[in-house]
């Protein structure tokens, strides 16, 4: 085999390897579909995870194959989001947002905030109840589909914000930027089967299943 053909084959192998490394995967759900009942019903969880979230992952990988970029992480996509088309934006956001959402929910009862997060909430909101109220207002006030977030801002403070569609505060063009430590999906597919149009009831129920241990880990990682 001559050197020209060898280098051509090597290039094909490397290209294939790069494409494989750029493929994003959906992590397993960390609990059973019915584990969060009665707050989130099993049918909603199954459809949400296996159809909506899985669809974002599949469409993201397809959209990236059609681009000339092979980002290693979702964070790399968000840091340069204006360089990507709407398909990458929407589906990368959908994948990241849902992955975070599953992780901060739990069937475990009585999880608690870390001392560091509790102190930060008291400093920036006045207390947990005030945080919850601001968060509910942001989530209930998001017109149409979107997300509500508790974030760590660039100056290491906590703040509540919301984004439309599958956007998130990591995106370079977000109106309020920061690192999400807690997020709530307020697309209708997240709650409509159980709560119909009562978004407020769904938001109130979420506080019963928040994994404060995971939120605390997210916070402590974000402020390093």
Q: What tens digit of pLDDT does each residue of 135-167 get?
A: 999 999 999 999 999 999 999 999 999 999 999
Which residues are CB-contacts of 137 (< 8 A; sequence separation ≥ 6)? none
What gap in Å lies between CA 52 and CA 45, rounded to an integer?
10
The CATH number linked to 101 is: 3.55.40.20
Q: How confident is the model at residue 20 (pLDDT cuts 50, 70, 90)?
A: very low
Domain-embedded: residue 167: yes
Q: How far is residue 162 from each of residues 15, 42, 157, 219, measured CA to CA in Å?
A: 38, 26, 16, 18
Q: What is the domain count for the chain?
A: 1
**pLDDT of residue 16 exceeding 60:** no
Tokens of 114: 């870390």
Domain-embedded: residue 148: yes
Lowest mean pLDDT: which of 19-33, 155-169, 178-192?
19-33
Domain-embedded: residue 58: yes
**pLDDT of residue 2 exceeding 50:** no
Q: How far apart are the first and last CA of the chain?
A: 53
Domain-embedded: residue 190: yes
What gap in Å lies between CA 176 and CA 86, rounded to an integer?
20
Domain-embedded: residue 28: no
Domain-embedded: residue 17: no
Q: How confident is the model at residue 21 (pLDDT cuts 50, 70, 90)?
A: very low
Domain-embedded: residue 33: no
Q: Is the model more confident about 70 or about 195?
A: 195
Percent of the chain with pLDDT over 90: 88
Q: What does DSSP assign to residue 208?
A: G
Structural domain including 179 reads 41-224
For β-strands 158-164 and 179-185, DSSP reports them as: unpaired
């Amino acid at each position: 085999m001559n050197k020209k053909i060898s280098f051509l084959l090597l290039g094909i192998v490397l290209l294939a390897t790069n494409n494989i490394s750029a493929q994003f995967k959906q992590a397993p759900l960390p609990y059973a579909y019915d584990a969060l009942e009665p707050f989130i019903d099993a049918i909603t969880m199954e459809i949400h995870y296996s159809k909506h979230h899985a669809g974002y992952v599949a469409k993201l990988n397809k959209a990236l194959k059609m681009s000339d970029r092979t980002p290693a992480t979702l964070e790399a996509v968000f840091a340069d989001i204006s360089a990507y088309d709407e398909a990458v934006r929407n589906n990368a956001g959908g994948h990241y947002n849902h992955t975070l959402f599953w992780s901060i929910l739990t069937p475990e009862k009585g999880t608690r905030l870390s001392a560091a997060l509790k102190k930060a909430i008291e400093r920036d909101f006045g207390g947990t109840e005030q945080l919850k109220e601001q968060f509910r207002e942001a989530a209930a006030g998001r017109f149409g589909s979107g997300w509500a977030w508790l974030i760590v801002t660039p100056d290491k403070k906590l703040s509540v914000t919301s984004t439309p569609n599958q956007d998130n505060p990591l995106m370079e063009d977000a109106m309020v930027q920061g690192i999400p430590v807690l997020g709530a999906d307020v697309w209708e597919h997240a709650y409509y089967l159980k709560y119909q149009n009562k978004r407020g009831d769904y938001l109130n129920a979420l506080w019963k299943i928040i994994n404060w241990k995971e939120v605390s880990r997210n916070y402590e990682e974000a402020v390093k």
